[in-house]
Amino acid sequence: MLGLPGPALADGRYPHWDDLRYREPPPGLTVEQWWAGLKHLRGRSGALIQPMAKTYGLPFHVVDYATVKQRLHEFDRMNVSREFVQALGNHDAQAEYRVRQRIEESISSSGIEGARPATRDLARQMVREARPPTSKDERMILNNWRAMTRLTELAATENALRIEHLLELHRILGEDALDHPGIEGTLRTARDQVVVSDVEGHVWHTPPPAEGLHQRLEALLAFANRQDDAGFLHPVLRAIVSHFWLAYEHPFRDGNGRMARALFYWCMLKSGYDFAEFMSISGPIDRSPKKYYLAFAHTESDSCDLTYFVVHQLDVMREALDELLEHLRGRAQRTATLAKLVREFDQLNHRQRALLQHAIPHPSASYTIEGHALSHQVHYQTARTDMARLVDMGLLQDRRIEKGKRFYPSGTLAEQIRSLGGTL
């Protein structure tokens, strides 16, 4: 129609009218004709999300155009498993990395909701060492960590996510960390005035009435659990739509963004994308929150076209996955360097090497037995033995702090390793 190549721009972008109206239209067209042509092509290639459309009586749909197909294909083809093997090697090392990434996602997810810890290092230390939080910001991060941990347990043990699971996760997320005390683990009611607004107070969305909320959540979970009649939908698209659906419904008075991202991870894990647990989507969202809000707003303002949100989330996922792969490759290189540095020490296990790998460039860092045990998912006694051996070798020094011990890199750790036989 009108010589247009498809429902998007030639470079694959999927503009909303608010963007398109400021662009130069193709020759022979007004900007209004250009928009009308795009809308016509989108209407012809849009696929209705039947369960969501039936639930709300609105034409929620996705335009499955070339860029979406290409990005889903690229996402499926990325050999993340190979990168994990090269960077981490064994199951124990992957367990340690899983803990690390879960902490990073917890910090970033809390950041979207306004949490700003004194430093990310202090937040990481709090989680690893099970230190009681000292502020609401730290409490949000710790709650996110606990909720993500519980979510992965549910994904491993439950065939389907149920409403009681949502309430349980919300209780974990909300403990002493919501704007309205005492609402954790409860759905909103008709008495609650709930809107979606940003930190500047701009209202982006008003959710549906509380009446019928329970039934609508049942429909959402049937969709997320692949127990509906929607037919085949690419698992990543299903995860993204589930994310949008929970945020659109906004079933709780507070904490809905965190719950929506948790549901996304559930869908990914249950669809076999195990590496999703290592991938933090909240980092890219936190760096550009306005784009996140606009993706919601554009969907609502343009005939319930979910493509805006799908494209945005595919961009977020690609950025998160690129960051993950870059970090894994960097870690593989650092691990190889460290292996050379400590190659004479056959008695060092991978946990001790991982600690030294962190300690060498962070001479002011400190460690605890509890944090070491949590990082590597081992028992306290195993972690204690690891630390004691490093102290005996002069690579760490320990100091008694109150009732426990804290371990610090020795003053010249790298030089001591070299003197004991290692070479850079």
Task: Compute the mean pLDDT over every residue in the chain, rounded to the nearest whole number.
Answer: 86
Q: Which tokens is 82 given? A: 């190979």
pLDDT tier, 241 (very low <50, low <70, confident <90, very high otherwise)? very high
pLDDT tier, 276 (very low <50, low <70, confident <90, very high otherwise)? confident
With a cut of 80, say whether residue 7 has pLDDT above it.
yes
Lowest mean pLDDT of 74-78, 82-86, 280-284, name the range: 82-86
Q: What is the pLDDT of residue 418?
A: 58
Q: What is the pLDDT of residue 179?
A: 80
**71-75, 115-119, 122-126, 249-253: range with highest mean pLDDT:** 249-253
**CATH 1.10.10.10 for domain 342-419:** yes
The domain spans of the chain are 1-48, 58-324, 342-419
Q: In this structure, what is the dihedral angle of CA atoms 39, 40, 45, 48, given to the nearest 10 degrees? A: 70
Q: What is the mean pLDDT of residues 391-398?
A: 90
Q: Tell whether pTM > 0.75.
A: yes
Q: What is the pLDDT of residue 160?
A: 96
Q: Which tokens is 209 given? A: 């009435």
pLDDT tier, 80 (very low <50, low <70, confident <90, very high otherwise)? low
Query: How many CB atoms lie under 10 A from the CB of residue 83?
Result: 19
Tell me which fold the domain 58-324 belongs to: Fic-like fold (1.10.3290)
With a cut of 70, say whether residue 344 has pLDDT above it.
no
Q: What is the mean pLDDT of residues 335-362?
A: 74
- DSSP class per residue in 200-238: T--EEE-PPPSTTHHHHHHHHHHHHTT-SS-----HHHH
The contacts of residue 17 (CB under 8 Å, 6+ apart) are: 35, 302
With a cut of 80, say whether residue 301 has pLDDT above it.
yes
With a cut of 50, say whether residue 65 has pLDDT above it.
yes
Long-range own/partner contacts, residues 80-85 (CB < 8 A, 24 or more apart):
80/275, 80/321, 80/324, 80/325, 81/275, 83/325, 83/328, 83/329, 83/332, 84/275, 84/278, 84/328
